[in-house]
Amino acid sequence: MKTAGMSFECETGNYHTFCPISCVAWLYQKIEDSFFLVVGTKTCGYFLQNALGVTIFAEPRYAMAELEEGDISAQLNDQKELEKICLQIKNNRSPSVIVWIGTCTTEIVKMDLEGIAPKVEKQIGIPIVVARANGLDYAFTQGEDTVLAAMVHRCPEYDSLIEEEKSQQSEIHTNSKNKSTSHQLVLFGSLPSNVASELNLELKRQSISVSGWLPSQKYNELPKLGYKVYVCGVNPFLSRTATTLMRRRKCQLIGAPFPIGPDGHMLGLRKFVRFLIKTNGLKERENQLWKNVEDYTRIINGKSIFFMGDNLLEISLARFLIRCGMIVYEIGIPYMDRRYQAAELLLLQSTCKEMNSPLPRIVEKPDNYGQVQRIQELKPHLAITGMAHANPLEARDIDTKWSVEFTFAQIHGFSNVRAILELVTRPLRRSKGNLNLVFPSLSKQTKI
Amino acid sequence: MKLAYWMYAGPAHIGTLRVASSFRNVHAIMHAPLGDDYFNVMRSMLERERDFTPVTASVVDRHVLSRGSRDKVVSNISRKGEEQRPDLIVLTPTCTSSILQEDLQNFVDRASLSSQADVILADVNHYRVNELQASDKTLDQIVRYYVEKARKEGLFKRSLTAIPSANIIGILTLGFHNQHDCRELKRLFRELGILINLIIPEGEFLKNIKNLPRAWFNAVPYREIGLMSATFLEKEYGMPYLSLAPIGISNTADFITQVEKLLNLWARVILGKSFQFALYIENQTKFVSQAAWFSKSIDCQNLAGKEAVVFGDATHAASITKILAGEMGIHVSCSGTYCKHDVERFNEQVQGLCDEVLITENHTKVGDTIARIEPSAIFGTQMERHIGKRIDIPCGVISSPVHIQNFPPGYRPFLGYEGTNQISDLIYNSFNLGMEDHLLDVFGGHDTKGISTKSLSKNEEGIILWVPEAESESRRIPGFVRGKIKRNTEIFAKQNNILEITVDVMYAAKERLNR
């Protein structure tokens, strides 16, 4: 794919983001019969209990296997210790799967989680999936990527011959004339179940049936994978999962923009045209949607925005907001997989052209200090940023939106377009009254 | 390895960062992987901090893992030195760098050659100390460093101030109501005619540390943080210190009496007079603080003999226990702390004030204890608040771990005379709300709850069945005693090998207990 004319920069990587182990927060809720065990230190535990706030009090299905000095110096046997803990979990919660999250510490002491897991699995009789979601290699949402990539190996095999025979039989049986359903399509990415079913429905309208989701609501319902199964990602941070699906399970990847915003969603649907009969009024539907959110787009039209970058949704969001008429100064992003995001990047490029907007600079591994300097200079109407910078920027009269909300809010598909705009426009809609005119800056420092 | 869902005290580096970012113009650089800078979020969110938290990470990634940090840390230190011109850069190890065993001291030595700022390595071991101990240690380290430096440069000032003065040691960012406490303490000292020499670390410049020994004495309001610095100053410069928290009427009176003693050591020599604070204490207790009157009033009479459980850090848990038992006549069934390193002192302080003492870092143990005791109110941390929510017992938060609610914009000290008022409110409101709830129950208010077991951990032994009639009968029992009666009935059933509880069994159990 060509991404010519687009400039990618790479800075020092001194930026703030969540640790990838935070993915347990939404994954344990998504996979209802799972238990997530983070094998790490007090630091990991402290992060989880503070970042996940109140969920910690709701008897969550995640916990720490807290490493002590004896574990680090190998005085204790890792396998025995983990077995003991997993047995405890089995007795208390009886999950269908235990996911071990490897952390920085297990990497450094080279704890062989992948090696130990099968043994413990045999011992306690519960499948154990190992994902190394550590801060040495990954940022925030990439944690989900590592977990899903690990789950790919646990999906049952799709044997095209057997399956086709089956479907033929059933076709004869029901005497159906519809022959287009023989394609297997598996979508990957963890979405709240109502968003997932909405996407299913949307595709069904185009007579594409989704044969499964990775992850599924229950561990035992993981989709069948194999040659002749088409796969498509719904989130921009799933490149490892995509690679694993292609290389290890021989699936066919459909490279499409991600279903964020009506434009992305529409193009994603169009991509499926390759193996679908016709498009049923998609363009009209898109236009209708744009019309529905006009009250919001009017607010942001012509306003500028700056993405500091911390969750990899940045390209898709920027693309959508440019289409809404915003001017994007900078797209910071932790990690940019140009192959996996190729379709998204192309759409970004064409959107800029169409909207007559300059191509934003894309900054990989940004340096937050430098970014704050640039924000001070550019004075964007809105900065999408982490909580570490949000309050200080607000005090300096820069409106901000907390980036993590985009990860937790429902932003996929047609019906959630309003939700994205609701988030983006909130700081702009918020009336600050007269106080803001008298005291534009409330910072205590003279310089930053 | 241990299975853990929740911890009361954070990891060591949090303590170091809290001290470093409390001082003015100090920058901390963490040797840590991506995502470990969550401290910045906490400070910006919980404290609603307007300025950028002076903490950055020298990121440990795959390259560092394979080849070592090499020049990365050093160049990060000098870069920060140039960008923000801090007076001091504190290199902060984390759990990750603890096991990498890189020679961080060497980086510090190299960096300090080129850097304008002073550079030190926080001397804390992640696997041995927790957040509180680490902050104590780091504060001590910084104080030593600058006192030593001033002495070498001959800038050291040791002469006592002409007017009696005090240092307040241990006020830091992300501390439980620390900002309000600090203001109240300042007010208290001002009213006693004592000048504040320095408050460390909060808001202080490092260059002023050399003036520390000019104060007549040191006050360490929270035992968890500042004790090490205070003992160092006592040993080296003969500065007396006070490590008593003036929380509650009697503690505050004690505190002031001890201040009087410390002042009079020098006052006769320097000022030719001595201080008498007895009248001040009496006046404050009678008229400024409402707490003494409150504990005599009818309201408080209603609280007499009610059961409470207290849990928190050593300072707050001990003080609140003393207030509940000693000042308000409330029955403290259990008092506990997670500060395992300060157990002796804690035991000594709560001795005779409660039925049992609980020392643990395990929140399920605390939860089970509360469930067993079923007090009318809990005074604990945010965790206990949620335990209370689950089993329907009101809770007043008296100690960290903190939550955004513990950083109210309004004035809410725990220390001093205004503190006593605040605590009275807190205690009274906790109990009162509980009472209202039960009144609703007694008069058949909106009660839709079935009987539910309140225990937090699973009951392993055989499950006892309640027949529907018995269950509906039990719903008629007022909520605040329902759990207890249910439990007693079950114990009775177990003792008599009854597997099914009928209405008859219920009354048999009641009879037995009444006997």
The pLDDT of residue B449: 47
Residues annotated within a binding site of B:
36, 434-435
Residue from the list B48, B99, B389 with its beta carbon closest to the beta carbon of A391: B48
Contact B3 A72 (CB under 8 A): no
Q: Indicate if B244 and B191 belong to the same structural domain.
A: yes
Asked if B55 contacts B39 with a C-beta cutoff of 8 angstroms, the reply is: yes
Contact B7 A49 (CB under 8 A): yes
Asked if A85 contacts A37 with a C-beta cutoff of 8 angstroms, the reply is: yes
Sign of CA dihedral B181, B239, B344, B323: negative
pTM: 0.88
Q: How far apart are the first and last CA of chain B?
A: 49
Average pLDDT (A436-447) is 65
Asked if B177 contacts B398 with a C-beta cutoff of 8 angstroms, the reply is: no
Q: Indicate if B115 and B208 belong to the same structural domain.
A: no
Q: Is B36 on the interface with A (CB under 8 A)?
A: yes
B35: closest CA of chain A, how far (Å): 4
Q: Round to whole Å and give the CA distance between A111 and A102.
A: 9
pLDDT band per the 50, 70, 90 thresholds, residue B458: very low
pLDDT at B137 over 90: yes
Sign of CA dihedral B353, B356, B359, B365: negative
SS3 B359: strand
Chain centroid to Cα B446, Å, comes to 37
SS3 B335: strand
Q: Round to whole Å and give the CA distance between B22 and B26.
A: 8
**In 10 A of CB A167, how many CB atoms?**
14
Per residue in A168-213, pLDDT (tens digit) is 666 555 544 444 446 788 999 999 888 998 889 888 887 788 889 9
Residues annotated within a binding site of B for [4Fe-4S] cluster:
36
Residue from the list A66, A105, A369 with its beta carbon closest to the beta carbon of B2: A66
In what side-by-side order are the strands of the sheet with B241-242?
A: B195-201, B165-171, B217-219, B241-242
Q: Indicate if B29 and B107 belong to the same structural domain.
A: yes
pLDDT at B153 over 70: yes
Q: Which two tokens stand for residue B296?
A: 């005599």
Q: Indicate if B316 and B432 belong to the same structural domain.
A: yes
Task: Write out chain B residues lying below 8 Å of A20, CB-based.
Answer: 35
Q: Is B161 on the interface with A (CB under 8 A)?
A: no
Neighbouring residues of B504: CB distance < 8 A, sequence distance ≥ 6: none
Q: Indicate if B343 and B384 belong to the same structural domain.
A: yes
Lowest mean pLDDT among A199-208, B26-35, B229-238, B472-481: B472-481
The pLDDT of residue A243: 96
Give B 69-128 residues with CB within 8 A of chain A.
Answer: 76, 83, 94-96, 99-100, 126-128
Q: What is the DSSP string of A115-159?
A: HHHHHHHHHHSS-EEEEE--TTT--TTHHHHHHHHHHHTTSPB--
Q: Is B97 within the bounds of a domain?
A: yes
Q: Is A89 on the interface with B (CB under 8 A)?
A: yes
Question: How far is CA A196 from each of CA A43, A89, A237, A415, B359, rounded to the nearest angstrom?
Answer: 34, 29, 17, 12, 47
Average pLDDT (B165-191) is 95
Secondary element (H or E) of residue B115: none
Q: Is A132 on the interface with B (CB under 8 A)?
A: no
Ranges of H-type helices in A224-341 = 239-249, 261-271, 282-292, 294-300, 314-323
SS3 B312: strand
Q: Round to whole Å and give the CA distance between A56 and B43.
A: 20
pLDDT at B457 over 60: no
Per residue in B89-115, pLDDT (tens digit) is 999 999 988 888 889 999 999 999 988
Task: Write out chain B residues lying below 8 Å of A39, CB-based.
Answer: 1
CATH number at residue B192: 3.40.50.1980
Residue B498 one-letter amino acid:
I
Q: Round to whole Å and give the CA distance between A132 and A127.
A: 16
Q: Is B146 within the bounds of a domain?
A: no
Residue from the list B11, B56, B62 with its beta carbon closest to the beta carbon of A41: B11
Number of domain units in chain B = 4
Q: Round to whole Å and give the CA distance between B279 and A315.
A: 70
Q: Which two tokens stand for residue B501?
A: 């509880």
Q: Cβ-count burial of A415 within 10 angstroms (0-12 exposed, 13-18 middle, 19+ buried)?
A: middle
Q: Phi/psi of residue A431, each to 5°?
A: -80, 125
Residue A347 one-letter amino acid:
L
Q: Is A367 on the interface with B (CB under 8 A)?
A: no
Asked if A57 contacts B386 with a C-beta cutoff of 8 angstroms, the reply is: yes
Q: Is B284 within the bounds of a domain?
A: no
Q: Phi/psi of residue B257, each to 5°?
A: -60, -40
Q: Is A57 on the interface with B (CB under 8 A)?
A: yes
pLDDT at B452 over 50: no
pLDDT band per the 50, 70, 90 thresholds, residue B179: very high
Tokens 């001002």 -> residue: B190
Q: Round to whole Å and give the CA distance between B437 and B443.
A: 10
Whether A20-138 and A181-275 share one fold: the answer is yes
Q: Is B52 on the interface with A (CB under 8 A)?
A: yes
User: Which of A238 and A50 is assigned the larger pLDDT?
Assistant: A238
**In 10 A of CB B19, how many CB atoms?**
29
Select from 3.40.1390.30, 2.40.170.20, 3.40.50.1980, 3.40.50.720 the CATH code of A181-275. Answer: 3.40.50.1980
Secondary element (H or E) of residue B129: none
Polymer length in residues for chain B: 515
A48: closest CA of chain B, how far (Å): 9
Give A 405-444 residues with CB within 8 A of chain B.
Answer: 442-444
Residue from the list A72, A92, A134 with its beta carbon closest to the beta carbon of B127: A72
Q: Is A50 on the interface with B (CB under 8 A)?
A: yes
A65: closest CA of chain B, how far (Å): 5
Query: Beta strand A62-66 with B2-4: parallel, antiparallel or unpaired?
Result: antiparallel
Indicate the average pLDDT of chain A. Answer: 87
CATH superfamily, domain at A20-138? Nitrogenase molybdenum iron protein domain (3.40.50.1980)
Q: Is B224 within the bounds of a domain?
A: yes
Task: Write out chain A residues lying below 8 Å of B7, CB-based.
Answer: 42, 45-46, 49
Task: Write out chain B residues lying below 8 Å of A85, CB-based.
Answer: 1-3
Contact A369 B56 (CB under 8 A): yes
Q: Round to whole Å and give the CA distance between B30 and B37.
A: 8
Whether omega for the bond prior to residue A127 falls within 30 degrees of 0, making it cis, is: no
Q: Which one, of A398, A300, A50, lies nearest residue B35 by Cα?
A: A50
Residues annotated within a binding site of B for substrate:
434-435
CATH number at residue B494: 1.10.8.550
Residue B409 one-letter amino acid:
P
Q: Is B20 within the bounds of a domain?
A: yes
Whether omega for the bond prior to residue A360 falls within 30 degrees of 0, making it cis, is: no
Contact A448 B52 (CB under 8 A): yes
| Eight-state DSSP code of residue B223 | T
Domain final residue pick, B270, B303, B330: B270
**B363, closest residue in chain A (CA to CA):** A57
Task: Write out chain A residues lying below 8 Å of B40, CB-based.
Answer: 16, 388
pLDDT band per the 50, 70, 90 thresholds, residue B284: very high
Q: Which one, of A3, A234, A211, lies nearest residue A141 by Cα?
A: A234
Sign of CA dihedral A91, A94, A97, A98: negative
Q: Indicate if B323 and B228 belong to the same structural domain.
A: no
Q: Round to whole Å and give the CA distance between B381 and B177.
A: 13
Q: Is B421 on the interface with A (CB under 8 A)?
A: no
A19: closest CA of chain B, how far (Å): 4
Q: Indicate if B396 and B363 belong to the same structural domain.
A: yes
Contact B2 A68 (CB under 8 A): yes
Give B 178-197 residues with CB within 8 A of chain A.
Answer: none
The set of catalytic residues of B is 299
**In 10 A of CB B254, how many CB atoms?**
16
Q: Is B5 on the interface with A (CB under 8 A)?
A: yes
Per residue in A134-169, pLDDT (tens digit) is 999 999 999 999 999 999 999 999 877 776 666 666
pLDDT at B447 over 90: no
Residue from the list B4, B56, B59 with its beta carbon closest to the beta carbon of A63: B4
Q: Indicate if B231 and B303 belong to the same structural domain.
A: no
| Eight-state DSSP code of residue B23 | S
Angle value at C-alpha A9, between A4 and A12, nearest 5 degrees: 160
Average pLDDT (A284-308) is 91
Sign of CA dihedral A240, A245, A249, A255: negative
Per residue in A2-55, pLDDT (tens digit) is 455 688 999 988 999 999 999 998 999 899 999 999 999 999 999 988 887 656
Q: Indicate if B371 and B230 belong to the same structural domain.
A: no
Q: Indicate if B302 and B342 belong to the same structural domain.
A: yes
Q: Is B381 within the bounds of a domain?
A: yes
Q: Indicate if B318 and B429 belong to the same structural domain.
A: yes
pLDDT at B184 over 90: yes
Asked if B205 contacts B24 with a C-beta cutoff of 8 angstroms, the reply is: yes
Residue B473, domain extent: 465-514
Per residue in B74-90, pLDDT (tens digit) is 999 999 999 989 999 99
Q: Phi/psi of residue A117, each to 5°?
A: -50, -50
Residue B321 one-letter amino acid:
T
Q: Which one, of B348, B385, B350, lies nearest residue B370 by Cα?
A: B385
Question: How far is CA B131 from each of CA A213, A438, B232, B461, rounded to the nearest angstrom?
Answer: 43, 41, 20, 39
Per residue in B31-56, pLDDT (tens digit) is 999 989 899 999 998 889 999 999 99
Q: Indicate if B242 and B322 belong to the same structural domain.
A: no
Q: Which two tokens stand for residue B399?
A: 């100690």
Give B 371-390 residues with CB within 8 A of chain A.
Answer: 383, 386, 389-390
Asked if B236 contacts B253 with a C-beta cutoff of 8 angstroms, the reply is: no
Asked if A261 contacts A319 with a C-beta cutoff of 8 angstroms, the reply is: yes
Asked if B271 contacts B216 with a C-beta cutoff of 8 angstroms, the reply is: no
Conformational region of residue B451, where left means phi above 0, alpha means psi within -120 to 50, and beta covers everything else: beta
Q: How far apart are the first and last CA of chain A?
A: 41
Q: Round to whole Å and give the CA distance between A249 and B33.
A: 32
Domain boundaries defined on chain A: 20-138, 181-275, 282-434
Residue from the list B50, B95, B386 with its beta carbon closest to the beta carbon of A444: B50
Q: Round to whole Å and give the CA distance between A308 and B327.
A: 54
Indicate the average pLDDT of chain B. Answer: 88
Q: Is A331 on the interface with B (CB under 8 A)?
A: no
Give B 427-486 residues with CB within 8 A of chain A.
Answer: 458
Q: Is A358 on the interface with B (CB under 8 A)?
A: no
Asked if A133 contacts A44 with a C-beta cutoff of 8 angstroms, the reply is: no
- Listed in order, strand segments (DSSP E) in A239-381 are 252-253, 304-307, 327-333, 361-364
What top-level class would CATH report for the domain A282-434? alpha beta
Q: Round to whole Å and give the CA distance between A278 and B276.
A: 94
Q: Which two tokens stand for residue B355?
A: 């039925």
Tokens 């005379």 -> residue: B417
Q: Which one, of B42, B34, B52, lies nearest residue B18 by Cα?
A: B42
Contact B34 A136 (CB under 8 A): yes
Q: Is B2 within the bounds of a domain?
A: no
- In this predicted complex, what is the ipTM? 0.89
| Chosen from B24, B26, B52 to mutate, greatest number of chain A CBs within 10 A | B52
Q: Is B155 within the bounds of a domain?
A: no
Per residue in B347-402, pLDDT (tens digit) is 999 999 999 999 999 888 999 999 999 999 999 998 899 889 888 899 999 998 88
| Eight-state DSSP code of residue A337 | -
Asked if B121 contacts B105 with a C-beta cutoff of 8 angstroms, the reply is: yes
Chain centroid to Cα A203, Å, comes to 20
Residue from the list A20, A41, A63 with its beta carbon closest to the beta carbon of B35: A20
**B63, closest residue in chain A (CA to CA):** A136
Task: Write out chain B residues lying below 8 Å of A68, CB-based.
Answer: 1-2, 127
Angle, helices A314-323 vs A342-355, to 10°: value is 20
